[in-house]
Chain A
Amino acid sequence: MTAPLLDALLHRPHLRVLLCVGTGGVGKTTLSAALAVRAALLGRRVVVVTIDPARRLAQAMGLDGLAHEPTPVHVPGANGSLDAMMLDVRHAFDQALIGQVSVEEADRIRANPFYRALAETFSGTQEYVAMEKIGELHRLAAGDGRWDLIVVDTPPSASALDFLDGPNRLEALAHNPLLRVVLGLPRGPFGFLDAGAALATRALDTILGGRLFADLRTFLQVFERAVLAFESNAVETRRLLASEAAAFLAVAAPRPDPVAEAAALVQRLGEEGLPLSGLVVNQVSPVVDVPPDLLATAELDADHPQRQVLAHHRRNLARVRAERWAIEPLERFRVPTTLIARQPGGVNDVESLAALLGGLEQQASPGRDV
C-alpha cells in the first residue's frame, strides 16, 4: 500500500519546498530521505538537504558520506532525479559572515571568541543557516530549473519550535539596543536612556573583563553587517515558506513527549500563517487486525507453541493501544495524518527508503483502526 496523502502532497504542481519539522529522535532525517526518493520516483527533480544524517543513511543513498554540495543519488526506476546534500553549518555561517568583510578582517574574525561561540554553540545558528540555504537553493532552482522540489530535514533540536525561533533569536540579538550601545552608535528613538547605557556598558565590561569586551566590539561590528544582509534574504524566504509553494509536515513518534511537541508545533504554525500540510506519526508498531472474539476463542484451544505466538500478539495489541492513546491529543487539530510502521530491519538502501513509504498505513485522522 502506498501513502495517498503524502503522494498527493508530492504531486502538488505548485509545491517547491517541503519541510519536515519535529523534535529529535522521531526519524525526521530518514523520513525526509524517504520522501525525496518517493518524489523522484513520481517524476520530480528533487534536492534533499539534511543537517546531520547517520552514516548508514548516507550509505543507503549510495554515498560514502553526504557531501556539502548537492550530489546525485541513483534512484532505480525514477522518472525524476535526486540530489542529496548535508548542510555544513560552520562553513555556511562562515560564508554568511565572512562574506561581509575583507580577507584580513576575515582571519581576525575567525579567531574571535564570540564568533567561534556563535558559529559552534549558539542555539539559533543551525536554524539561521538552514533558512539561508533554503533561500539559496530556491533561487538556484528558479534560475535554471535544475530542481522543482527542495526537501528539508530541519536541524536536530530539543524543541520542535527551534526551527521557527532560531533565526529570530539571532536577529533579536542583532537588534538588541545594547549592541548599538557597545558599538557607540546612535541609539534611535527607542534606545536606552543615557544613564542606562552607561550602566549597561559598565556592567558588560565588569562581567566580561576588558579583553573580552574589546573582542566583543570587534565581533559586533561584523555581526551587525552580516545580520542586516541576511535579513533582506530572510524576508524573501519567509514569504516563500508562507506561500502555497511550501508545505510543512509535522513529524512525531507515538509517545507522549514528541506528541506534546508536535501539538505545540501545529499550533505555532497556525499562528504564524505557515502552511501545515500533514502530520506524520513515525515508528508506529504494526499489528494485524483480528476480531477480539476470534482471538479469545483461538486462545482457549491453542497448544503451547500457538500460545507463544498469541501471547506476543496480545502484548503487541497493548503496545498499539498505548500508542493510540499517546497520539490522541493530535486528533483535535483535524490535520490529515499518516502513520508509518516501525521498520525492524532498518533502512539499508534506496529501495528500503522507498519501501518505508510503501509500507505506510494512512488515514484521515489518528485514533481509529490503522
Chain B
Amino acid sequence: MSYPHLLIIDDDAMTRETLTGLLAESGYEIQCAASGAVGIELASRLNPDVVLLDVMMPGMDGFEVCRLLRKDPHLAEIPIIMITALDDQDSRLMGLEAGADDFLSKPFNSVELEIRLRGLRQVARYRHLREEREKLQTAHQLLQIQNEELRMLSGKVISVQETERRHLAMELHDEIGQQLTALKIMLINLVNYQGEEYQIERKKAINITEQLLNQVREMTLNLRPTMLDDLGLIAALYWFFNRFTQQTRIKVIHNIDPLDDRRFPDVIETTIFRIIQEALTNIARHAKVKEVMVTLSIEPHLLRLSVVDSGKGFIVNQVSMGYSTGISSMRERVALAGGKFNIQSTPGEGTIIEAEFSLPEME
C-alpha cells in the first residue's frame, strides 16, 4: 500500500521543516517546493493527495498558485489547505475565491493539522462523487435529446415512406394496371380476327407490351437503380449523370471512370447516390446553370464528394421550405451513414456541397 502524498509549497525553509517534522509520524509521503512555480510543476508531476500552500510568497503568491491548480483539469480536484495569518480574514476570503478548501495558521498544532487533512480527503471524495453525478446527468440529458431527434426523424421517414407508397400505388394502378387490362382484352379478342386483321391486332398487343416494359423499367430506375446494387456506385453515377444531362440539358463535369469497378459499403454507396440525386435535382430546379461539377475522390480510407455549381446560390439559413427539407434530409442521410456534411452557398456565386465518409479497412 502506498502512502498519501502531501505537497508543501512554501518559500520559508523554517515553515517547511516544521510541517515536515509535525507530520513525520503521520504516514504521509512529503514533498516540498520553495516557490509557486516549482510547486505547480511538482503538483502536475506527482499528482499529490493534498497540497499545503503558503499565501505570502515572492513572485507567484499562494492565491495565484491555487487558481492555476484549479484550472488544470488533472489537478482541479486536489484538496488545498492555505497557510494564512490567524486573524487575516481578507486572505481567507481571497483564498476561498481562488479555490482553497481549508486554512491553517501558525503556530501549527499537529493534532489540528491531522484532523484537517483527514477532513479534506473526505471533501475531495465528495467533490469527486458530485462531479460523477453531474456527468451522468449531462449524459442522460444528451441521450434524451438524441432520443427526441430520433423520434422526429423516424416520424419523418414514415411520412416520406407513405407518400412514396401512395405515389407508387397510383402509378401501378394508372399506368401498369390499365395497360395490362387493355392487353388482356386484346388477347381474349384475338380469336375473333383472321388474316391481315389478326396481324394488325397482334402487332398492337406487342406494342402495348413494349410500352409496359419501358414503364416498368423507368419506374424501377426511379425507385432504386438496380445498377447501384449490381454494378456499384460508380457505374450507377455514370448512368445517372448521362440521364440527368439528357433530361435537363445540364452538363455534368465529373471524374467518374465508368470502368472503375471498386465497391464501397452499401450504406455509403446508397447515401452518396441519393445525395447527388438530391443535389442535382435542386440544381436543375433552382440554380439556373448549364453546368455542374461532381467529384468523387477515393483515398485509401476516405471517400470525399463535392457538388459545385455557379448558379444563383442562396443564403443557407433563409431558404424556402421545400428546398430546406432537401438540405436537411441530405444532412441527416450523411449523419446516419456516419459521414460529415457541409454546404456553402453565396447568392450570385453558387453552391458547394461536400460530404466525407471514412472507409473501413479493405481486405
Do these two chains really belong together in a complex? no
Interface residues in chain B, defined as those with a beta carbon under 8 Å from any beta carbon in chain A? none
